[in-house]
Every structure is written in structure tokens, then in C-alpha cells.
Structure 1
């Protein structure tokens, strides 16, 4: 890290804001996070298909997926606690080692023909737990290595990477599965190894520049009761922060609305006889829109006040979604969804970046875990509403439910001053400080 950069969690001077990202440890972080993200996406895409291939039973494949989801939720909470207790960079290194070994082990099982329902369930649980628990240190580490005034631009830059992963991981995994299950594991092993090397270089760079610990970690306490208490502290802190709780509610409404709209559209296409390839093209169009929109996201984050930008982007998506009621062709639906998703990277970068800046570094892991749990609670709502709504009332009214939720998110955003008045990224830290308690201000 360049010696002129401030220590993690400090308030940097005005000159810090112009330091380019490549002069921070961010490139090492990006390679590590990208490798881990690609590996996890490949695993998430391939595992249900492998389960169907091995068991030839949708019920057994569903059991594997359901149990893995539950394990991941537990791993999210545990990972958040660990990320605040220990060195985040070293957690990333340990995660890289574990992922590489587990991917290699999965490759060996597949190569030897040892995959059964039992071994696949065990592999899914262990790999899902490992990838999730160690990944909880990644985002907090970003705040530790990038000045607060640049977090928005860093998260905006990540949007293009995320869109690319979503576009390529599915086709890549599908192509590899066509050759053999073992090849999926082999490629994951190579990618995990690359991520591991980047994590090691990241730790060396940050520790050489900052001899002190990256974050001021609280005294380490042991046991389930202590971990539960630390998580409870994060939930209570979030509840007191009006700006962040408002954003969480808004994101919940957005996610439910978008989920209902997209899922209902896909159900409608399938019921009307669209092929899997055609549905895949429609799904891929959302990734194309996000990839294109990601190029403008850094400019939007630093130029347009976040509160205004969120209102504009939500309005754009709501109007675009309403046109789906009138569009029925495969091409028309794909183009509409692509245009809707053009605004997603900017709003994702703003909301995610502000939450990161507003959260004290020492509890960022637990707060991220708390946010993930709250988001996970409402995750099943969209497919349930889409499934029952499409069956009972049809496509148009069900899409209307999703649109009503996105409209509600706009109303909440405009009606709450703590979120409506969030400025451009350079002013996030000062805005967030107005909602801190005096003791938190001293620690910031």
C-alpha cells in the first residue's frame, strides 16, 4: 500500500480521493474476490445439475440444495463474527487454501466415479460452508484497503466484474459438464489456486504498509454464546441506524419486486412453450444490461447524489417493468429486461458502497452477516408469489404485484430524509457521521 494512504478506518484528506485504485492493494483484492466469485458461481450452477445426473431424482437433488442453503445461512453468521475477530486478509488466505483443497478433493471423487447421493450431499455441505464462511471477510477487507471516499468507485468497478461472472459462469460450467463432472472440479481448483495467490500477495502488501492490525478488532471471546452476543450487537446497531435500516427496507422491496417480475416472466415463457435455450437468452439479457450499465456506474456514483440516483433508477426500472405487460415476444422481453437492468450497477454500487462506508470497520463483518440474514428471510417470497400468483391470477396481475413493490420502494426512499439526502460518494462518510452516536464518532 502506498505510504500516503491513511490507516484503515481513518478520515482521509481531500488529496486521498484522487489516488487511483491501482495504487492501492485493490488489484490484489479484485483478483482474489473474482476468483472466489467465479468458483462459487460455477459450484452453484453445476451442483444441482450434477445432483440430477448422479441421483436421477429431483427430490434428492432438492434435498441437497435445501440443506446446503441452510448451511450457508449458518456459515454467513459465523463468517461475519470471524471477520470481526481476526485478520481479514489472513481469513481470505485460509479460505483460499480450503477452497483449493476441497475443489481438488471434489475433482478426485468425480474422476474416480465415487459421487453418490451421500458423497455429493457431504461435498455440497462442506464446500458451501467453506466458501461462505471465509467469503464474509472479503467485503470488509475492501473497506480496510481503500479510502472511504473511494469505496463507491471501487464497488461500482466491481459491478462490471459481477455482471461478467453471471454471464459466463453458467455457460462455462455447462460446457465443462458436457466433458465430465471432474473437469468442473479441475477448473475450480485452478481458479481457487489463483485466488489464493492473490490473497497471499494482498496480505503481504497490506502488512508491509500497515504493521498494525487492519482493523481494531475487539477482544476475542469464545463459544456460541459469545458469538450470538456479537451478532446481536450488530442487529441492535443496525436497528438504531435510521439511514441503514431505511436502505435495508428499500432493498428488500426492490429485491422482492424485481424477483417477482423476472420469475413470473420466466414462468410465463416456459408455460407458453419457450425452449430452455430461449429462456436462457432472456435470462442472459439481464446480465448484458448490467455489464453495459457498469461502464457508467463509476461516473454516476461520483457525480449524481445517491438519494436522487436511487429514485431515478427505481423509476426507470418500474416504468420498464410495466412495459412487460404489453410485450410477449422472446426478443421484446429480452430487450426490455436488458434496458431495465442498465441502471442496476449504479444503484447496487451506491447502496452497497454507502452501507460499507457507514458501518464501523470493527463490526463490518457482523453487520454484513445481519444484512444477509434479513435479505435471506425474504428471498423465498418472490418465487412463492410468482408461482402462486401466476397460477391463480395470471401473468399480468402478478407482474403488477412486483411493480407495486418497486413503486413502494420509491415512496419509502422519497419519504425518508436520511436516505433521500445521501450525497455523492465523496460525502458519504460525513453524511453517515450525522447518525453516529458520540462514542462511535470517536472510534471512527
Structure 2
């Protein structure tokens, strides 16, 4: 079904028996963690720095808005580059660029040269660089880890992501209390560590007995804007034909919008009822605590619970928890409810992300990831808009009802679509995904 040879199957079986720590994965994890931590610190600190420097919320908003647009463009370009060139080498180049740019930002802050213009330029350049090179990181994971271990690797990443979410904000805030330059200095050190890990990762994979990470073979030809647009269009068309993956994307869109509306409405309600910024911060931090606790069970869930069943359970859990928020109005009650809701997030995130990675051919994984990110980015503003206008027009409960309706819809879609409902445990992902590849080839014939 996959066209793999018996020898390749034997290598896959043997590789599966090797613990993750015996693969190049630890080097990848250090590199990705460093890059993610640096990006998270920058995302948290830049709006605050802009307010400190300009004293203008409007100018700070301009910087943030332009940077978001640049990141969307960088996502698409990065996806194309990740499928054209060696992903390990891209990670090294990205590490060098991030380290240099963070050091340059530190110098600007130390010398007192930060203005609206320099902040805007810095945010654009650093946002573009970090995003475009980061698009090679996830595809690189598939190159260094056997398909049957991708689920466990992505599950292991969930605890790391929760830790970054919990620590990056407080760390950046405390560093800003000393000086803007210190944020840049710490980012420089973190980026340098990520760079060193990327170098070691490439060296390890090049010395390994198994074939080195694949550099996707692209046909020779032009490499301009028109070629990049054509390659991205190819990824969108391929993704549209894959019923299993498009169903998952629609379901994730629905649940993200639903939960986003519910959480944002809850925060607006707390603020309007006089809750302090510290109390609201505790409420939002509770989601990170829930994810961190849930990450310990994620590897077990990926191996044991069929992915389709796990998604249904998770969506139902989210819906019940969301409905509970309507009747809970205390700070402690809301924080505990959100924490409990997020306990199941790491497992389902690992399953969905891992299956998407296994199901996508390595030669187009970068572009497909970019296409998915763009589709998710298009609906990202919906939640705050609905929450803002809904809360102002109808109040807390009706607006949260909209979010709950979306989460219920995601359950209905999941239950009604066999391609996603029947996704097995991680060991069966490759076979399940291959059945849709065969169907696609039959349709083409």
C-alpha cells in the first residue's frame, strides 16, 4: 500500500523498538524548544515594549497587526522552502539568523535606539525570520522518527508546549522589569542553544546508519513567486482531496472557534465584573496547568485509545466543561473548570498532529503544514470578534451559547464522518492513511 520494500519494513520494525531517547529526537526537541521559547517570549514582550517605548496603544497595535500579516506570508514561504531544501540545514540557518537578530535587538535596546520605526522593523524582521525557518522543524521530525513513533514523539512535545506556555510570559515580564535589553540577551542565549542542538542533530543524522533525512526531490525549474504559488496550490488541492485530513481540519476549526468564544467571553465578563489583571492572569494560567498535567497521560492515550474515539471523548468533555462555565462565576470555579477542560488537550493534540504528519507525504509536509496554518489563521479572528460583539449586544450567557453550539457541531461532524471516526491508535495510523491514498489514486485513474 505504501510501496515500501521488505527491507524498509524491517528497518521500520527495528526502529520502533528503539526508545525515543536513542534516536536523534532529543536534539530535535532541544532545538525546537529553544526556538519555541524564544518566539513565545518575543510575542509576549513586543506589545508591552511597544507600549513602553511609544506610549501609544494605536502604534503598538500597528506593530502587532503588521507582524501578523508578515507571519502569514512567512508561513507559506517557509512551507515551500521546507519541501525544496534540506530541513536540517534550514534549521541551522534559522538558528544562526535568530541568534544574530536577537543579539542585534539586545544592542538596540542597550543603546537606547528603540523607537516606533526601529521596533516596527525589528518585529517584522524577527517575526518573518522565526516563522519562515520554523516551518522546517515539524517536517524534520517525521524524517528522523519512524512513522509508528510519531504519535509518541508528538505526545512528548505536549508537556514541553505547556511548560513554554506557563513560563514564557512570567519570565519575559520579570526580565522587562530589569530592562528591555535583558529580554533580548536571554533570547540570544536560548537561540544559541537551539542552534547548537540543530548542528548536533544534523551531524547525528548524517552519521546514522539509516538513510539521512530526506531532502525532498523537486523537479528542476524556476524558483520564483509563480513556482512557489503553484507548489502551494498543489498542497491545497491535495489536502482538499484527502477526506480524512479535511474532516479533521474542519473539526479543529469548529472546536477552536467554540472554545475561543467561550474563554474570551469569560475573560471579558471577569474584567467587566471588576476582576484584577492578576486574577485574570491566574484564570488563563489554569489552562496551561491543565495541559501540563494532561501531558503526562498523553503518550499512554496515543498508544492505547483509538484516535477517533479519543477525539469524540475530548469534544464531549470540552462541551460539558463549557456548559459548566455558564453557571460558574467565581474566580476559583472558573480556573478549576478551565484546568479540568484542558486535561485532555495534550492527548488529542498529539493524536491529531501526529496523524496529520504520518498521513502527509514527506515531500509536501512543509507546504501542507503551511496550508493548514493559513486555514486556521483565517478563522482565528472570529472568536474574539464574536465574543466582543456578542458580549456587548446580548451578554455573557447567550454569547457562550454560541461557543457551545460550535463545540456540539464539532461532535456531530466527527460522529458523521467515518474517515475520522475510525482512525485507530498510533500503530495503525500509517495503514489507515494509506487507504485514502489508494482511494485517491483510484479516483484519478
Query: Which sections of structure 2, spanning at least 5 residues, go unmatched?
Result: none
Q: 2: CA distance between counterparts of 1:319 and 1:82?
A: 42
Displacement, 1:210?
Answer: 4.9
Displacement, 1:15?
Answer: 6.4
| Counterpart contact for 1:324–1:333, Cα < 8 Å | yes
Q: 2: CA distance between counterparts of 1:440 and 1:287?
A: 42
| Counterpart contact for 1:84–1:218, Cα < 8 Å | no
| Counterpart contact for 1:8–1:143, Cα < 8 Å | no
CA gap of 1:55–1:5, structure 2 versus 1, over 3 A, is farther
| Cα-to-partner distance string for 1:316-365 (whole Å, 9 max, x where unaligned) | 11101101000000000000000000010011011110000000000000
Displacement, 1:6?
Answer: 11
CA gap of 1:3–1:431, structure 2 versus 1, over 3 A, is closer
Q: 1: CA distance between counterparts of 2:441 and 2:179?
A: 54
Tell whether 2:3 aligns with 1:3.
yes
| 1:242-281 equivalences in 2 (<5 Å) | 242-281=243-282
| Counterpart contact for 2:264–2:383, Cα < 8 Å | yes
Q: 2: CA distance between counterparts of 1:442 and 1:35?
A: 44
CA gap of 1:236–1:272, structure 2 versus 1, over 3 A, is same
| Cα-to-partner distance string for 1:114-158 (whole Å, 9 max, x where unaligned) | 000000000000000000000000000000000000100100010
| Counterpart contact for 2:205–2:212, Cα < 8 Å | no
Q: 2: CA distance between counterparts of 1:311 and 1:222?
A: 43
Query: Which sections of structure 1, spanning at least 5 residues, go unmatched?
Result: none
3-state DSSP class of the match of 1:9?
helix
Q: 1: CA distance between counterparts of 2:211 and 2:309?
A: 40
Displacement, 1:417?
Answer: 0.3
CA gap of 1:199–1:4, structure 2 versus 1, over 3 A, is farther
Q: Point out the more displaced range, 220-229 or 52-61.
A: 220-229
CA gap of 1:116–1:355, structure 2 versus 1, over 3 A, is same
The answer for the alignment partner of 1:237 in structure 2 is: 238
CA gap of 1:227–1:7, structure 2 versus 1, over 3 A, is farther
The answer for the alignment partner of 2:369 in structure 1 is: 368
Q: 1: CA distance between counterparts of 2:241 and 2:3?
A: 36
| Counterpart contact for 1:93–1:200, Cα < 8 Å | yes
Q: 2: CA distance between counterparts of 1:153 and 1:442?
A: 33
Displacement, 1:218?
Answer: 4.7
The answer for the alignment partner of 2:185 in structure 1 is: 186
| Counterpart contact for 1:269–1:279, Cα < 8 Å | yes
| Cα-to-partner distance string for 1:224-267 (whole Å, 9 max, x where unaligned) | 00000000000000000000000000000011011101100001
| Counterpart contact for 1:241–1:435, Cα < 8 Å | yes
The answer for the alignment partner of 1:104 in structure 2 is: 103
CA gap of 1:296–1:443, structure 2 versus 1, over 3 A, is farther
| Counterpart contact for 2:2–2:434, Cα < 8 Å | no
C-alpha RMSD of the superposition: 3.1
| Counterpart contact for 1:100–1:193, Cα < 8 Å | yes
Q: 1: CA distance between counterparts of 2:9 and 2:278?
A: 48
Q: 2: CA distance between counterparts of 1:290 and 1:211?
A: 35
Q: 1: CA distance between counterparts of 2:59 and 2:184?
A: 21
Displacement, 1:4?
Answer: 16
3-state DSSP class of the match of 1:221?
coil
What is the TM-score of this pair, normalised by structure 1? 0.95
Displacement, 1:43?
Answer: 0.1
Displacement, 1:9?
Answer: 11
Displacement, 1:13?
Answer: 2.6
Displacement, 1:207?
Answer: 1.3
Q: 2: CA distance between counterparts of 1:211 and 1:244?
A: 28
Displacement, 1:220?
Answer: 6.2
Displacement, 1:173?
Answer: 0.1
| Counterpart contact for 2:414–2:421, Cα < 8 Å | yes
The answer for the alignment partner of 2:160 in structure 1 is: 161
CA gap of 1:203–1:388, structure 2 versus 1, over 3 A, is same
3-state DSSP class of the match of 1:90?
helix
| Counterpart contact for 2:33–2:160, Cα < 8 Å | yes
In the comparison of the two structures, how many residue pairs are matched?
Answer: 441
| Counterpart contact for 2:107–2:181, Cα < 8 Å | yes
| Counterpart contact for 1:238–1:245, Cα < 8 Å | yes
| Cα-to-partner distance string for 1:13-55 (whole Å, 9 max, x where unaligned) | 37625x2101110000000000000000000000000000000
| Counterpart contact for 2:15–2:146, Cα < 8 Å | no
